[in-house]
Structure 1
Amino acid sequence: MPLSEHEQQLLAQLEKQLHADDPRFVTSMGSRAVRGASTRNIVLGIVIAVVGLLVLLGGVVIDSILVGVLGFVVMGAGVYVATLRSGKPRAGGEAGKGGPPRRSSPFLQNLEERWDQRNSGGPSS
């Protein structure tokens, strides 16, 4: 169901306001920030999991518990590799860099001030 013209205008206005209030949040919520598992990781994980399954079955055939457990561990590693998220860390997202922390919106700034007042025993608790 498409949006009406009025709803589209409201949505555009909200988007502009969000861009003005919190550009860092908008950047982090962009399409590039939502990254799932890459195709390379999925294919590599599946290959590793299949090799692990073959090792597990080989351990069952030769009646070796150690080989079966090794196969299970390799299968688990394959699943882990397949579910890894890809991508480089975003710039500016690392903690510990010099300089004061950036406050991104008045709402968060107000929350931080209230938290600081509460922890420092500010106005009547």
Structure 2
Amino acid sequence: MPLSEHEQRMLEQMERALYAEDPKFASALEGSGLRTYTRRRVYQAVAGFLVGIALLMAGVVAQLILVSVVGFLVMLGCAVLAVTGWRKAPKPGEQPAGPARRQARPKRSMMDRIEQRWQRRRDEQGH
């Protein structure tokens, strides 16, 4: 659910006040952005995937099916995290979607889109 204009203004005022009050803390919170976060998440998922392989192999060697299944599930979950994290990462030089970008093109709900399509079909059939 997107923020209302009033909520966005309040958030921007709070951000400006934080920067004015303690710029060092504000820049530490900001970090280097979404790109670093998603890259770290992908690296963690790859490490988890390797742990899953180790569990799977240990389960096969020890003939413990439960350990093998857990290893496979860990591998699967980490693979999904890595792929989704990689897709969400902004490209170099690209700005992540922020509040200003959301204002430019407001999201429509699924029901609004369905209703608009229904209206279009009715209008096309009526003419």
TM range (shorter): 0.3 to 0.5
**Structure-2-length-normalised TM-score:** 0.44
Q: Which has the higher helix share?
A: 2
Say which one has the larger Rg: 1
**Structure-1-length-normalised TM-score:** 0.45
